[in-house]
Amino acid sequence: MSVLDLFDLSGKVALVTGVDRGLGQGMALALAEAGADVAGIGISDGEDTGKRVRQMGRRYFYQRIDLIQASTADLQTAVTTIVTEMGRLDILVNNAGVIRRTPALDFSESDWDDVMQINLKAVFFLSQAAARAMSASGGGKVISIASMLSYQGGITVPSYTASKHGVMGITRALANELAGQNINVNAIAPGYMATDNTAALRADEQRNKAILGRIPAGRWGTPDDLQGVVVFLASAASDYLNGAIIPIDGGWLAR
């Protein structure tokens, strides 16, 4: 076997949340290009991603689920449905997330609850459901999307910061428990990425300049920047990696 064979995902099934656009779509397409069939969860019709996955000759199955509203039973049902439709589940990418920006002294309970529901509670219980399926079939890969705010405090985003610190914590906790079942649990911490979540920052001339001034690479990240690392974490090449949080940040943390 060559080293490149370790990255081959042929015959695998990957579930990606927030598959409709942005980072989620980019990672889903990378996994498909590496050989995986894709199951997606999102809040639109998901058809753009589906069309592109099928053009690569891969299968695609989509469920429209609002993770802010989904119960733990809904998440378990979603995973069970994927296993029934696709035959198995080998890879989970917990990508879907939401951010609310308000000064801490004015932050509302509803904004707190919405962010924690989708960014942390749904991540844990979807990971739990997926790990049950993976354990029954011999193993798998759980990959969550953390953040630079898994390391830092941020400004006007208290619930997002708390949730992304939590993603780091449960990544490590699940890795400890699941490594013995041949399930690798790791996370990617994107830096400042050009997505819908950062549109307001990029439009603010002063904030945009300050952010770029701290990034040694001198640019915002793009969905393409996560494609290589998600294939690595989903593949046999990462079989001895457990509980890691990998920053893809253009050097932001190093600065």
Q: What is the DSSP string of 52-84?
A: HHHHTT--EEEEE--TTT--HHHHHHHHHHHHH
Does residue 87 register a pLDDT over 80?
Answer: yes
Residue 252 in domain: no
Does residue 46 register a pLDDT over 90?
Answer: no
pLDDT at 198: 85
Residue 93 in domain: yes
Residue 217 in domain: yes
Of the pLDDT bands very low, low, confident and very high (cuts 50, 70, 90), residue 8 is: very high
Residue 72 in domain: yes
Of the pLDDT bands very low, low, confident and very high (cuts 50, 70, 90), residue 201 is: confident
Of the pLDDT bands very low, low, confident and very high (cuts 50, 70, 90), residue 244 is: very high
Residue 255 in domain: no
pLDDT at 241: 98
Q: Identify the domain containing residue 132 by its residue range.
A: 3-247
Residue 74 in domain: yes
pLDDT (mean) for 116-145: 98
DSSP 3-state of 147: coil
pLDDT (mean) for 179-184: 98
Of the pLDDT bands very low, low, confident and very high (cuts 50, 70, 90), residue 1 is: confident
pLDDT (mean) for 226-249: 98
Supply the CATH number for residue 130's domain. Answer: 3.40.50.720
pLDDT at 142: 99
Hey, which of 112-116, 194-198, 209-213 has the most confident mean pLDDT? 112-116
Where in the sequence numbering do the catalytic residues fall?
Answer: 160
Between CA 59 and CA 49 the distance in angstroms is: 11
pTM: 0.96
Residue 22 CB partners (closer than 8 Å, separation 6+): 193, 195, 196, 223
Per the listing, tokens 């509302």 go with 108
pLDDT at 193: 93
Residue 253 in domain: no
Does residue 21 register a pLDDT over 80?
Answer: yes
First to last CA, the chain: 39
Mean pLDDT of the chain: 96
Of the pLDDT bands very low, low, confident and very high (cuts 50, 70, 90), residue 149 is: very high
Q: Domains in the chain: how many in total? A: 1
